Structure 1
Amino acid sequence: MSFDAPSPAPRVRPSTVSLAVNLLFAAAALELINIILSAVYAGKIADASRKALEGTSQANSNPTLSTVIGVVVGLIILVLLVVLAIYVGKGKQIARILTWVLGGLALCCTIGTFGLSALGEAGWNEARKNDPDLPTWQEYNKALYADVPGWYQPVTTIVSILMVVAILVAIILLALPASHPYFRAPQQEWEPPVPGTPGGDDLPPPPPPPAGPAP
């Protein structure tokens, strides 16, 4: 005699999770745009940096290295976003947790970028005290992007902000109560079979009712 547990009903993905998945894919696409733009104009920016720093104490700096590191980091982020989107869509709890972690890191990196820009200007001004041949921070940045299209900086900035917003909205959607059940492990509920159904014909007949007192 065997009792077959009924298979659990298929889970229906909530709209909050579906939107979060789409936002993660959108963030990956935005990161790809940033990588392509960085790779296309990296050479021109590096050449402009060398010209601007020629004859100064910073002439031996390697701007290409920082660009390569940025592209590699961007590719890692791109792959992570795609993988997270796939497994969040499948209802994997670990993917949801990693999405929260990645979203927090993305926010910190964005805020840190603006902070590093301010620190970079302060450090540059200190370096000019020891090397007056260095251009001012504003002159250096103007020369750095002189040979790239005027839309390059605004577009890369907007794309980065949109990517962070997409990730942050995704982690908020995954934290909403409507998303919780989709990430819970399905539980099988056993129901005893009844006669006339597969497995139910093997059941023993019910016991006879107790005999009452003789009249």
Structure 2
Amino acid sequence: MSEFAPGPDRARPPGTVRISSYLLYAVAVVEVISLIVTLATLSSFRQALSDAYAGTELEGSADTAAVAVAVVVGIIALVIGIGLVVLGFLNLRGKNASRIVTWVVGGLFVLCCGLSAVGNAAGGAVNFESSGDVPDVQGKIDAAMPGWYDPVNVVLLVVPILCVLVALILLALPASNEWFKPRAANWEPPTPGYPVMPGTSYPTPPFPTQGGEPPLPPAPTAEPPETPAPPR
């Protein structure tokens, strides 16, 4: 049975694979920072929702539900980032299956984050005016959040998308394909000049020698005694 090795040079993956894995590592770091920012502004976010829905039927429940959703989304993004780190490590080991999983997970990540970015951009471009019993939720949130929150949030949303997208492209380049391509280990015939072990095709190893002495010759095979001729 043929044995398969990952790529022509297992110890040194090409630059495309290395950069791709480093970008996946960077995504995990960004997701950790994003979760820290979410937790740091959680109290302000909750207070803004509480003020916006004060005196309505959703008072006391809307803010709790929104905070729970924000925390869950942050944790899910962090878990995905950790999964990308694992995939990046396996990609450096030459595992073609991990490259395929990286394309699937990374594609879903780019799609979900891209839709979220488009939704945030569209929501920020449209100004909703509160009227009657409809509270001005976005206005309360903008007033409660610190001034650095919006630009930092945009960076933390766009950078992972670009990193994962570039990482997926690098894994599809010819140099990466050659690295992940399995190759069969060529079988070498026995070295001429050495005796062959009985019942196998493998040569017997030479006896160890000292002082540069040549290896001992193989032991001669005993020949059967000759049968004497019958007397005449």
Q: Give the structure 1 partner of residue 186 of structure 2.
A: 189
TM-score (norm 2): 0.71
Structure 2 Cα separation of the partners of residues 57 and 120 of structure 1: 24
- CA displacement at 1:75 relative to structure 2: 2.4
RMSD value over aligned CA atoms?
Answer: 3.0
More helix, by proportion: 1
Change (3 A) 1:14 1:119: closer
Aligned residues with identical type, % of pairs: 33
Aligned partner of 2:150 among 149, 153, 156: 153
Tell which has more relative contact order, 1 or 2 (C-alpha 8 A, sep 6+): 1
Deviations 1:125-148 (A, max 9, x none): 6xx67xx22234xxx223214333
* Aligned residue pair count: 190
Q: Which residue of 1 aligns with 2:13?
A: 13
Superposition TM-score, scaled by structure 1 size = 0.76
Q: 1:195 to 1:114 in 2, by over 3 A?
A: closer
CA distance in 2, matches of 1:33, 1:13: 29
* Gaps in structure 2 of 5+ consecutive residues: 196-201, 206-232
Aligned to 1:38: 38
Conserved 8 A contact 1:25-1:81: yes
Structure 2 equivalent of residue 78 of structure 1: 81
The structure having more radius of gyration, on CA atoms, is 2
Q: Distance in 2 between matches of 1:21 and 1:63?
A: 34
8 Å Cα contact 2:21-2:85 kept in structure 1: no
1:183 Cα deviation after fit:
1.4
* Within-5 A mapping of 1:1-215: 10-11=9-10, 12-59=12-59, 60-61=61-62, 62-117=65-120, 132-136=132-136, 140-196=137-193, 199-200=202-203
Counterpart for residue 210 of structure 1: none
Deviates more, 1:38-47 or 1:108-117: 108-117
Counterpart amino acid of residue 32 in structure 1: V
What is the identity, as a one-letter code, of the residue corresponding to 1:169?
V
Aligned with 2:182: secondary structure?
coil
Q: Distance in 2 between matches of 1:67 and 1:197?
A: 72
